[in-house]
C-alpha cells in the first residue's frame, strides 16, 4: 500500500517550485491532492490532466477563497488529512528600499496566508481527531540575513506554528515547520546571474551545495505522514548546515 493511499493533501503554491514537487510526490504516494495557487494558468498547465490532482485558484490572503476551496474539497473528497502552507513570495530589497506596501504584502502572503489556511482547515481535522499540517518557514527566520519583511514574515510562521501545535494537539492535529535554506526553484532564479554570490553561499554551506526541491519535499512528506505520528511543534532546518555555523 502506498504511504498516502486514501488520504487527501491540500498544498498551497502547488503550481511552481517546491509546491509543484509536493503535489507530484503526494500523488505518487497515492494521495488525492488539491493543488492550490493564485496562478491558475500554471496550475492548469501542470495538473490539468492529472486525475489524482484537483486544481483550485486560491489567493492565500483571501478569507473567501479559503472558505470556498475548503468547502469544495470537503464536498467532493469528504476530508483533508494534510495541509501544507507552502505558497510564498520573497524580496531582494533591503532596509532602504522597502516600502510599507512591500512589508504588508509579504506578511499578508507569507504569514497571514498560513494562519488562514490553519483557521479554515483545522475544524475539519478536529472533527475526525486527526490531521497533519506542515508550514514552510525559512532559514532567514533563524539567523540575521538582512533586515527585511521576508525574515519577519517567516518568523511569524514559526511562532504561529508552535502556537497551533500547542493548541491543536489535543484534537489529534500535528503542526510542524520546515525551514529551507537556499533551494534552487523559480524563486531563487535571480541568483543564477550572480555566480560570485552563489559561490560564496556554497562556500558558507557545510554540505557545499545549494538545496534542491526534493531535499525539502522529502522532509515535508515525512512530517505529513503517519511515520511522524508523535512529532508536533518540531522545527526542521533543511539548509545544508548553513545556519549551524
Full DSSP string of 2-67: -TTTT-EEEEETTTSHHHHHHHHHHHHTT-EEEEEES-HHHHHHHHTT-TTEEEEE--TT-HHHHH
Q: Which is nearer to ligand NAD, 108 or 126 (CB)?
A: 108
Q: Which ranges constitute the DSSP H helices of the chain?
A: 17-28, 40-47, 63-77, 100-107, 113-128, 149-168, 195-204, 213-224
Is residue 243 a contact point for ligand NAD (CB under 6 A)?
Answer: no
* Per-residue x/- track, 180-219, ligand NAD (CB under 6 A): x-xx-xxxx-------------------------------
Question: 27-56: which residues touch ligand NAD (CB under 6 A)?
Answer: 37-39
Is residue 61 a contact point for ligand NAD (CB under 6 A)?
Answer: yes
Long-range contacts formed by 195-198: CB under 8 A, 24+ apart: none
* Per-residue x/- track, 115-134, ligand NAD (CB under 6 A): --------------------
Q: Which is nearer to ligand NAD, 107 or 225 (CB)?
A: 107
List the grid coordinates of 117: 489556511
Q: Which is nearer to ligand NAD, 29 or 138 (CB)?
A: 138
Judged by the rule CB under 6 A, the positions of this chain that interact with ligand NAD are 12-13, 15-19, 37-39, 58-61, 86-90, 109, 136, 138, 180, 182-183, 185-188
Amino acid at each position: 500500500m502506498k504511504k498516502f493511499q486514501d488520504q487527501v493533501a491540500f498544498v498551497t503554491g502547488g503550481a511552481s517550485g517546491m509546491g509543484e514537487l509536493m503535489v507530484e510526490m503526494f500523488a505518487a504516494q497515492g494521495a488525492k491532492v488539491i493543488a492550490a495557487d493564485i496562478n491558475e494558468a500554471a496550475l492548469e498547465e501542470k495538473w490539468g490532466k492529472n486525475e489524482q490532482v484537483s486544481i483550485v485558484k486560491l489567493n492565500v490572503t483571501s478569507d473567501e477563497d479559503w472558505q470556498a476551496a475548503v468547502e469544495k474539497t470537503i464536498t467532493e473528497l469528504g476530508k483533508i488529512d494534510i495541509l501544507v502552507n507552502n505558497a510564498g513570495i520573497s524580496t531582494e530589497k533591503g532596509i532602504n528600499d522597502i516600502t510599507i506596501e512591500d512589508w504588508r504584502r509579504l506578511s499578508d502572503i507569507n504569514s497571514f496566508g498560513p494562519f488562514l489556511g490553519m483557521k479554515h482547515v483545522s475544524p475539519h481535522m478536529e472533527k475526525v481527531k486527526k490531521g497533519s499540517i506542515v508550514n514552510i518557514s525559512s532559514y532567514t527566520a533563524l539567523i540575521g540575513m538582512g533586515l527585511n519583511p521576508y525574515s519577519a514574515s517567516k518568523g511569524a510562521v514559526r511562532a504561529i506554528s508552535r502556537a497551533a501545535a500547542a493548541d491543536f494537539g489535543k484534537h489529534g492535529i500535528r503542526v510542524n515547520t520546515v525551514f529551507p535554506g537556499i533551494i534552487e526553484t523559480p524563486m531563487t532564479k535571480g541568483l543564477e546571474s550572480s555566480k560570485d554570490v552563489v559561490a560564496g553561499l556554497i562556500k558558507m554551506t557545510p554540505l557545499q551545495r545549494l538545496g534542491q526541491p526534493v531535499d525539502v519535499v522529502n522532509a515535508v512528506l515525512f512530517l505529513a505522514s503517519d511515520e511522524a505520528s508523535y512529532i508536533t511543534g518540531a522545527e526542521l532546518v533543511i539548509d545544508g548546515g548553513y545556519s549551524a555555523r
